Amino acid sequence: MTLLNIFADPHISINHYIAVSAMLFTIGVFGVLFRRNAITIFMCIELMLNSVNLLLVAFSTYHHDNSGQVFVFFIMAVAAAEVAVGLAILVTIFRNLHTIDIDELKNLKN
Amino acid sequence: MDIKEIIFWSLSTIAFITAIYTVIAKNPIFSAISLLVCFASIAGHYLLLNAQFLFIVHIIVYAGAIMVLFLTTLMLMNLNEETEKHKPAIAQIAALVIAVALGIVLMLAVRKANVILTMGPITGSVGDVKSLGTVLLSEYFYPFEFISVLLLSAMVGVVLLMKKDKTAALK
């Protein structure tokens, strides 16, 4: 018996999409915890946002409701704004400290 | 196995492999390119779910805008050499344990919730441009306008952040 019974189901059900999204989200969380490069951490955050978007679209299609896809549209706009501001902050940090290694950014510690 | 399942499983496999390579690749440029392939396979998932409008928007926003921003910043910082130091081994093991535990908890929670939704026949009215535009500009009109203000303020903020500090140069 598999964890979600996704292999027993002959057709693609919502459980397949939940499993795929959960796996992608977990990979994103792992990347955020694993890497030291701040830009790669940003990419992993994008991966997590995309897994949630995929799940919203799947539920929207399975429920025959357009509202979920509108939410995904808004999430994409917020993600674009977030990436622009975040990368600008990273470039400013790099200009001042010449590194974007998150373990080196300890100015607030003492 | 019909054609839809084959497409689903191949897209999911590509998404997993490229997502994992995004995390473990040493060169950040390879991470960005592999993330681009991952986004493309997620766009394929959207097309499989009959979300045509979001398919186009996803390609434009992620492949066209966000990945270009990432790649430009990477090349601006000249990080394309393999200079990144790794975290200590204890932190890496802790990250792996936390990620695996989170995955198991998510799967068990979904299994406990027991979501049962069978895929009905996809009608043409869900996810196409016309019906989505109608919902977006009637029911969600005010959020749609506010998101434009958000994007404008983000743009102004980025320009302010990236401007060279002239007072520092005078000192």
Q: What is the CATH number of the domain that holds B147?
A: 1.20.120.1200
According to the model, what pLDDT value does residue B99 have? 93
According to the model, what pLDDT value does residue B138 have? 92
Rounded average pLDDT over B42-67: 90
State the pTM of this model.
Answer: 0.88
Residue span of the structural domain in which B94 resides? 3-170
Cβ atoms within 10 Å, residue B10:
12
Which of A7-16, A98-107, B59-68, B103-112 shows the lowest per-residue confidence on average (mean pLDDT)? A7-16
| Closest residue to A36, CB basis, from B73, B84, B119 | B84
Inside any domain, residue A31: yes
Inside any domain, residue A110: no
Q: How far apart are CA A21 and CA A27, in angstroms?
A: 10
According to the model, what pLDDT value does residue A6 have? 54
Q: Is any Cβ of chain A less than 8 angstroms from the Cβ of B111?
A: yes
Measured between CA atoms, how close is B166 to chain A, in angstroms?
A: 14
Measured between CA atoms, how close is A106 to chain B, in angstroms?
A: 15
Residue span of the structural domain in which A15 resides? 4-104
Inside any domain, residue A95: yes
Q: pLDDT band at A1, cuts 50/70/90?
A: very low
pLDDT, tens digit, for every residue of A30-86?
A: 999 998 888 999 999 999 999 999 999 998 888 888 888 999 999 999 999 999 999
Query: What is the number of structural domains in chain A?
Result: 1
Q: Give the contacts of B63 (CB within 8 A, at least 6 positions apart).
A: B36, B39, B40, B43
Q: Is any Cβ of chain A less than 8 angstroms from the Cβ of B45?
A: yes
According to the model, what pLDDT value does residue B166 have? 66
According to the model, what pLDDT value does residue A79 have? 93
Q: Per-residue pLDDT for B162 more than 70?
A: yes
Percent of chain B with pLDDT over 90: 49
Contact B16, A27 (CB under 8 A): yes
Q: Which chain A residues contact residue B42 at CB under 8 A?
A: 50, 53-54
Give per-residue burial for B116-144: e unless 16+ CB within 10 Å, then b. eeeeeeeeeebbeeebbeebbeeebeeeb
Hey, what are B116's tokens? 């049962």
Contact B73, A90 (CB under 8 A): yes
Contact A84 B5 (CB under 8 A): no
| Closest residue to B35, CB basis, from A47, A58, A73 | A47
Inside any domain, residue A43: yes
Query: What is the number of structural domains in chain B?
Result: 1
Q: pLDDT band at B110, cuts 50/70/90?
A: confident
Q: Is any Cβ of chain A less than 8 angstroms from the Cβ of B40?
A: no
Contact A29, B99 (CB under 8 A): yes
Given its phi and psi angles, is residue B86 left (phi above 0), alpha (psi -120 to 50 degrees) or beta? beta
| Closest residue to A14, CB basis, from B23, B77, B115 | B115
According to the model, what pLDDT value does residue A2 have? 46
Q: Is any Cβ of chain A less than 8 angstroms from the Cβ of B147?
A: yes
